[in-house]
Amino acid sequence: MTVDELVARNAEARGGLAKVEAIRTLKAEGKLRFGGQFELGLTQYQRAPDSLRMEASLQGLTLVQAWDGHEAWQISPFEGRKDPERMSADDARELADAAPIAGSLIGARERGATLEYLGTEDVDGTDAYKLKVTLKNGDIEYVYLDPDHFLEIRMVAQRLVRGTRVESTTDYGDYEQVAGVYFPFSIATQSRAGGQQSQTTIERAEANVPIDDSLFAFPAAHAGAGK
């Protein structure tokens, strides 16, 4: 198998390239659990080519993190900060990397990434295909495809944050169709830095819903702050 063959198989498994590219926006709702202790209501918005907004709510407070394709910002009420704040370029990397609707592989080269096939590797008893994706910003993602279905089952990300390479592992499962395209509805992430764990469970998702630019942009009322 070559890189091109694996990416093509992945696109076919997801529902076909035409259906994937036809999804211009995606709204997903569900639950976000941290460390098995806190469960938050989750709403996530994505818009092609690379805008993302995540809202996590608990007891009347809502954490917001957003990336508009150029800069990232957040509202952190759980840390006592209720006004929007711009995020540093390093802190924004994870948001930016997660923004493409189709994931890491489909359209990767068009986004300036390079891909390399590294053979197979065991993932919890499955001899998975392993691909290395070097993003335009220098971050590295190792993507593992199930050998039978060619869907992503794991991604190991390495990002440079304040001079330190930070690694996280994300496992994907419970694929469901949205507008004819398969998306993982179960996403479990563990970071090596501090051993932080999170579990995202998507309960419903809808494609091509109207989403205004303002949802991703730094709020206009605070536009002069933090510059």
pLDDT (tens digit per residue) in 32-59: 998 777 899 999 999 999 999 999 999 9
126, part of any domain:
yes
180, part of any domain:
yes
Structure confidence at residue 194 (pLDDT): 63
222, part of any domain:
no
What range does the domain containing 155 cover? 3-217
227, part of any domain:
no
225, part of any domain:
no
Name the token pair of 219: 């709020």
Determine the Cα–Cα distance for residues 84 and 36; give it in Å rounded to an integer.
Answer: 28
The model's pTM is 0.92
161, part of any domain:
yes
Quote the strand ranges of 93-212, DSSP E: 114-123, 126-134, 140-145, 152-161, 164-178, 181-191, 197-207
- Per the prediction, the chain carries an average pLDDT of 93
103 has a pLDDT exceeding 90: yes
* CATH code of the domain covering residue 124: 2.50.20.10
Count CB atoms within 10 A of the CB of residue 10. 25
Q: How many domains, the chain?
A: 1
The pLDDT tens digits of the residues spanning 168-204 come to: 999 999 999 999 999 999 999 998 766 678 999 999 9
Structure confidence at residue 224 (pLDDT): 58
Maximum distance among all Cα pairs of the chain, rounded to whole angstroms: 52
Segment 64-71 shows an average pLDDT of 96
Distances (CA, A) of 47 to 26, 107, 112, 153, 187: 6, 14, 19, 23, 20
